[in-house]
Structure 1
Amino acid sequence: MQTFNYPDIPEPAELTILLVNSSQSDPIVNRQRLVDGGYRLIECTDTVDFSSMAAEPKFDIIIVEPPEENVAGFCSDYRFPDKTPLLWAGPEQPELMSSETRPEMVIFCSNKPDTQEITSHLKSLQSFAAIHRSIRNQEQHIANLEQKIEILQKSTEEHILYLDILAMRDGLTGLFDRKHLNKVLPQKFSEASVNNKELSAILIDLDYFYEINKAAGTIYGDFVLNDFAARLTTIISQERGSCFRFSGETFFALLPGTNTKQALDLAETL
């Protein structure tokens, strides 16, 4: 059975606090006391800045100094992250804060909180901040793993596709091999029959190849095969056909949509 190990409560210096200031003339939170206490404090006074800043994972706790008036409007303007602990340091509790905008962990101060009360509440929130940070790190770790898995899956699929292509190709000329011809030939015949289309094939054997191979050597013989395969591919592809290496010096061209006379005329050009 797996157990969850609660992280150690961090020291103030390990925490970053986002202070949302509603531009009150008399600030509630004593900034200097928090800084002197070791907290890292970043202040925000604008709703636009808050929307981008509050979403950043670097903030462990959010302190809100609400306005003296129109608290409901203030709550509707600010959408607080649901996982980040929040300290409401103001004289009025936001009863109108909807469940959609209310964080999971909120502490409301008294009507006129002093620095001691705020510091005490911050210490209470530190344990929640530590758990939140641990969960956030785990979620990020999982997201990174999922991204790596996705990359590996894509790479694996590409390698499988590449191997499938290699499996149907002749190793010397790069043309489709006879095994692939045996697979596609029945399909092409069936398609031509169903659609009442012409289908022709040309079987090409290189004359005197054995003598050339014997006299000039296999390296030159391979060059001849590759050169002919390239020429054959150029010609047959213009007719939207497919080329295969049938055996040693024998090649096969499959020509959908080509009648017998057209195939004979094409064969004469090879």
Structure 2
Amino acid sequence: MIEILSATELRRARGTGAVVAQILQTLKGRSTAGTNLLDIDRWAKEMITEAGAMSCYVDYAPSFGRGPFGHYICTSVNDAVLHGRPHDYTLADGDLLSLDLAVSTSGVVADSAISFVVGDAPAPESVALIDATERALRAGIAVAGPGIRIGDISHAIGSVLHEAGYPINTEFGGHGVGSTMHQDPHVSNTGRPGRGYRLRPGLLLALEPWVMADTADLVTDADGWTLRSATGCRTAHGEHTIAITDHGADVLTLLQQSD
């Protein structure tokens, strides 16, 4: 299903995006050496509740997971890259942490992910991984707009990741959002330009480039959810929800700076 939102629904989507952005940045600030992943999940629950939002993860039970997910945020550490299920793990200096959050307010979903290194001395490999995903995300957003095809976004993202030297997995990627978290169209992290669905104003897309340092192969944890690099290498993940407008694309999950 592909949803095209009305002007009223787009205004709601902007509010949802602001909630997601604020929660993620608050959690990033709290995620220091000695922080337990279960504390991050608890804080996420508290902030979602305070915002009057609903978690998209707690009852999430897709065919690829061992559902329901049962937590409020995805916490992926080091070699974990997607769907990291919070568990009893204490962060250490140098850990590469990805936080992925999706919530719904007023019937509209926004979805975003950030990756960062815990502590003050990140390893160059971790910095390079995060930088590549952030640049790929910016490239995908830059080409998005009415009349553009999904393949144009995939090509822009993939070009950055390929140039950085990272293998690209195409099992999981970006997707449409709206009244639910995962919708069509699928947005692969590499592809051919000029192919696929043509974007229309009112469409919401969650773009999410992610990479693993030396492999494109994933393995699934015993928890049935957490996806890790098959070689144990480090990983990174970035994601923003964007709204296609008459003039381009607006990023809904950027933290708004106060004056």
- Structure 2 length-normalised TM: 0.24
**Whose strand fraction is larger, Structure 1's or Structure 2's?**
2
Bigger relative contact order (CA 8 A; separation at least 6): 2
**Whose helix fraction is larger, Structure 1's or Structure 2's?**
1
Q: Of the two, which has the highest radius of gyration?
A: 1
- Structure 1 length-normalised TM: 0.23
